[in-house]
Amino acid sequence: MQERFIMDLLLLLSLSVLCVSAEQEVENLSGLSPNPDRDIFVVRENGTTCLMAEFVVKFLIPYDVLALNGIDLITEQASVSIPRGAQIAGRCGSSESELQILWNNHAFTFRIFFSKEKRTLGSDGKAKEAEVWKINKVQLVYNTSEGTHFINAYNPGKHTASTHHLSALVTPAGRSFVCSAQQTFTLISSDHQKGITVSIYDIQIQPFDIKSDFVFSEPYKCITDEREQLEQMLPLVLGLILGLIIVITISVYHFHLKLTAAQQPQLPRDRSLYKNM
């Protein structure tokens, strides 16, 4: 009787897992992007979007090859990007989310982990607690047996590279992170502690609190973009100020001429009147 109860319970749990899995959808919408290098990934649960990401990402992966003398090892660099037909998976939660991208027959698996937490913001007695989200881990699993990018790799095999103690793209909860500038992460690989460079740019990401299906919430721009926008506007503002100064100077000069002319004695136009002066 007890065994039957356990079997029924396991069956119920299995059905529950299947139902949850059936309610989750993932979509690679990169084909809709006008930029052939920019990827668009969507994770949906219960019929609504719970995670969206748009970005361009490049990987620079060092690997060893055997030198011509057959003894020494030389380090080469493989430049890798995500193809349009990549598979995706994801997981959404109230405080933790994950985006997973796989391509080249699982030779590459790129994972981004997100978390949401409360932080104390402000100072001078006006500090308040607010929710923010961030990227807390980036991971790349790659196989140097993949011959397209890793040519003549020495001792090929699967390796895992991860960040450590990461806190990146910190964004107020309920908003999407937007940044055109490049964000760079260094991952430490299990392949002799080699450093892998991950460069992400032209970004818009939101892993929590998406209000409308397939629509990002209010953007939160990175500091670099804000600075670049200010630098672009500065010449225009200075030009307007200079133009205003020139207009004011000319106006004052004309006013001065009119005032000076008004103060000078008026000579009679009829020359016969000169005799009486």
Q: pLDDT value at position 265? A: 61
Q: What is the pLDDT of residue 78?
A: 97
Per the CB < 8 A criterion, the answer to whether 213 and 224 are in contact is no
In terms of Cα–Cα distance, which of 148, 143, 66, 70 is closest to 106? Answer: 143
Span 65-89, mean pLDDT? 93
Residue 77 has pLDDT above 60, yes or no: yes
With a CB cutoff of 8 Å and minimum separation 6, the contacts of 198 are 57, 58, 59, 138, 140, 184, 185, 186, 187
Q: pLDDT tens for residues 182-205?
A: 999 999 999 999 999 999 999 999
Determine contact, residues 154/66, Cβ cutoff 8 Å: yes
Question: Which of the pair, 41 or 255, is modelled with greater confidence?
Answer: 41
pLDDT, tens only, 233-251: 556 666 677 777 787 887 7
Check residue 124 and give its pLDDT.
59
Q: Tens digit of pLDDT for each residue in 13-72? A: 443 443 444 467 898 898 888 888 899 999 999 889 999 999 999 999 999 999 999 899
Residues 6+ apart with CB under 8 A from 126: none
Is residue 195 within 8 A of residue 62, CB to CB? The reply is yes
Contact yes or no for 189/196 (Cβ under 8 A): yes
8 pLDDT more than 60 = no
**pLDDT band at 232; cut points 50, 70, 90:** low
Residue 110 has pLDDT above 60, yes or no: yes
3-class SS of residue 227: helix
| Distance between CA atoms of residues 145 and 66, nearest Å | 15
Length of the chain: 277
| E strand or H helix at 12 | helix 2-22
What's the mean pLDDT when you consider all of the chain?
A: 83
CA 47 to chain CA mean position, Å: 25
Cα 53 to Cα 170: distance, rounded to the nearest angstrom: 15
Contact 42, 129 (CB under 8 A): no
Higher pLDDT, 10 or 87: 87
Cα–Cα distance between 60 and 257 in angstroms, integer?
70
Mean pLDDT of the 86-91 span:
94
Better pLDDT: 172 or 129: 172
Sequence-ordered strand ranges (E) for 126-167: 128-143, 158-162
CA nearest 148: which of 136, 156, 159, 140? 156
pLDDT at 235: 63
pLDDT-based confidence at 268, cuts 50/70/90?
A: low
